[in-house]
Chain A
């Protein structure tokens, strides 16, 4: 079956010749018209539209955005804050960066609509420390919008006022975790908070109710406000509405970003047709479908079970290529849609070395708060690094699995899962390579420098 065409909703103008990130260009393309219309409506209606749209958060967890908004404590009398999570740091993900660099006003418009819907007077864009250019572009965009009375007091005479500030992180993956982000925004170390009691919807930024949404999610909000929640559900598949941006990297002919209706394209179509298949003379070996913390899939494995189609349960028997790219299908086969970062590895990749790379990343990024993640991530890194650059032992595979099994579900935030799932899944899918690494490595240590 041929792959469907791209459905460019969020990325409509990305890399469009002649499209620039300034306000004039955005307004020429109809910018801020949606916001003007939205400001004429009741905030509750907008929240209902987002609920009806079924929009799921694009940061990784896929939590329904409307539900997140409805959990906000609106009776406390405290101000409600909105934070735009622009700390895109999951390896393999590069969608928010394009939005910020090339279409910042789309984000601002979505943010302002979300703020208006939730009666937010102050919003913060928390941008990753490694994206200084993006921060400058956003600051310029906000200044332009403020000059045009699109941000600030009494926006376009509507009586509604909202400020947006850009805050730069200092370069830590954990700042993408919403409570870690809030701590960082408050000027502290980004140690994620314990939940309960510190649910952002109740006790978030400065102990006030806070909404934390991903950049792409807020852009979707703009389009939902534009077309209505009902129309938005027509895009994509039930429970996986709207479009998804896939950031494909690794061993394919045409890596890059692609936007499709959620669930309408399979992994095989995406890699083989859209991305042009494997490099000449190579075959696909493995793919991580949702950012480096998602569990890896091995080409050739099959997934069987029953799934809901409409009201019925239908049998499915999928190879990796047959899996529809949506939150639920990827969840069913034991991995996740995550942030949409698709990392492809072909037969030239040694899986032990690939895992050593991932483990080095997570050991470096663990915040150091919870014992299992703090010690476990570094231990796994030390084992895989030693396997690659030193002496691999026969018992290392079992030890790695045992260490990884001691982490998930026992930490404050989801980093425990993020750092252990790669090791768990690499060992489950490619255990043979880890067990045989002793033989294959002897006399031939990897040429790379120590990680």
Chain B
């Protein structure tokens, strides 16, 4: 017996196969659910429907009803309701599934539509795949393989259009490759809210261009490159750098703000070439900010810390670690009851959940005060939030901090002035930038665990280099309290230990219970100890993240305003 469907599902028929789809699903998505591909260029699930490429033409039929009585008309041959097939093909992108809708994608007529659209798109296309950056991830290339005729009937001159227009600081346009699908135009208008792109001229001479006197310069301009189904819009940075099929993709997270946009890091032989967004419909859809795409450049930046130092002199990692342990735990007879006085940990909202967990263990062991550096900017209401720390909430979840950080490290500064703090363990944080004065910093012995040089690393007693987010794996908790994981894209610098190894060594050496130095070993401990992370493990964490129970922190005055998929809970810190 056929079970009645839930009310939000309807049955449609794709190429003879019945399938239940949610109401309002368009025919492309309905076919996708039936594992049938409907080729398309202009359709994008996150943009409005334009319906101009005509690649998704399919045959559509609706169940026949008697016009007078509305009673279903049955076909005596099959015993099923008759289907009225539309005389003309229909675009699948602009037609939503209705109950009993029939779609045929495998008929000669549909094949002919696809073949002819492919031929039309290719006649004025430069066919310069061998030198085109899009080759390998080009929809036109893929569909031409499937639907192209393999030879050209076009003997006329091709249209000539601008070949390398600089649309903005980051995007280069080749108009001859453009198939005028208008995805970039719609994106700029609808998502980036910067309506600068449009077409000029008519017919086949239509040309994509920027509004006169304007540039495609918004912080989301590179999404148009991702959207472009052909090689018309290319990233000025990535252009001609590497063939995409050589690149390895690693799932990662954009660490520029608490939005935590999901990303894909593209690397080859330990070198990162580009970052693109990874679809997560609950966080960033298919977008990310331009500013997050250049973060990989920090991996090989000139100011990267590559070796451990002790009082400015190069030492081995082991020596530096030992010096750090000495500083933190001892210095003569100050540690009478096992608790060292005068130590503060300046932790980071850029550290991973695992690192923050270990940091808390170290702080607990040392009975040290813990500060965390606040980084507040201006949110753009899209995918860069006001909180520029990717993992403040991780610090709350792991218990590293209990309240939101102060804007400046004022309390710590006061404690230093009062002579209560002599040693600071900085987790990659620049103490001056965080609000301490030069004089205050000068009174400290600083142990600096970080990736890059800054005002603090320059004066630190002990510097132990750590890894960037691209060289390690871990998890972060974004503004929605969504636990998200990222993987290691490229190997770390030679001689630099993984951050977890460094931290667990310090914890051990300070006399703490040995905890694992790998994600696999550490997560059972974290899950057992942190209530909202119970049952979570790194390996089983879904690629789209896990929404944590945030009730315990609901009243905190988080600084973020609204972003694409985040609405702030009204709290004391939120002014609406």
Contact = CB atoms under 8 A, between A and B. Distances in A.
Given A379-B154, A406-B119, A410-B57, A368 B51 contact: no
Contact of A364 (B57, B88, B112, B203): B203
Query: Range of interface residues on chain B?
Result: 35 or more
B88 A368 contact: no
Contact of B51 (A372, A406, A412): A412
A239 interface: no
Contacts of B50: 194
Contacts of B112: 406
A372 B204 contact: no
Most buried by A among B54, B94, B123, B205: B54
Contacts of A412: 51-52
A172 interface: yes
A377 B203 contact: yes
A406 B206 CA distance: 21
B124 interface: yes
Contacts of A374: 120, 180, 203-204, 206
Given A194-B94, A375-B121, A370 B54 contact: yes
B54 A367 contact: no
27 contacts: A189-B198, A191-B52, A194-B50, A363-B203, A364-B202, A364-B203, A365-B203, A368-B199, A368-B201, A368-B203, A369-B52, A371-B121, A371-B179, A372-B54, A372-B116, A377-B203, A377-B204, A378-B159, A378-B205, A379-B154, A382-B157, A383-B156, A399-B153, A406-B116, A406-B120, A409-B89, A410-B57
Contact of A372 (B87, B94, B120, B198): B120
B528 interface: no
A367 B119 contact: no
Interface in B88-106: 88-89, 91, 94-95
Contact of B203 (A194, A196, A367, A409): A367
B198 A194 contact: no
Interface of A: 172, 189, 191, 194, 196-197, 363-372, 374-379, 382-383, 386, 393, 399, 402, 406, 409-412
Given A369-B180, A382-B156, 19 more contacts: A172-B202, A194-B50, A363-B203, A363-B204, A365-B203, A367-B202, A368-B205, A371-B52, A371-B53, A372-B117, A374-B206, A375-B120, A375-B124, A378-B124, A379-B120, A383-B156, A409-B89, A410-B88, A410-B116
Interface string B412-455: 00000000000000000000000000000000000000000000
Interface of B: 49-55, 57, 87-89, 91, 94-95, 112-113, 116-117, 119-121, 123-124, 153-157, 159, 179-180, 198-199, 201-206
A297 B208 CA distance: 40
A421 to B, nearest CB: 15
Contacts of B53: 370-371
Contact of B202 (A196, A365, A411): A365
A376 B121 CA distance: 10
Contacts of B117: 371-372, 410
Most buried by B among A189, A372, A374, A376: A374
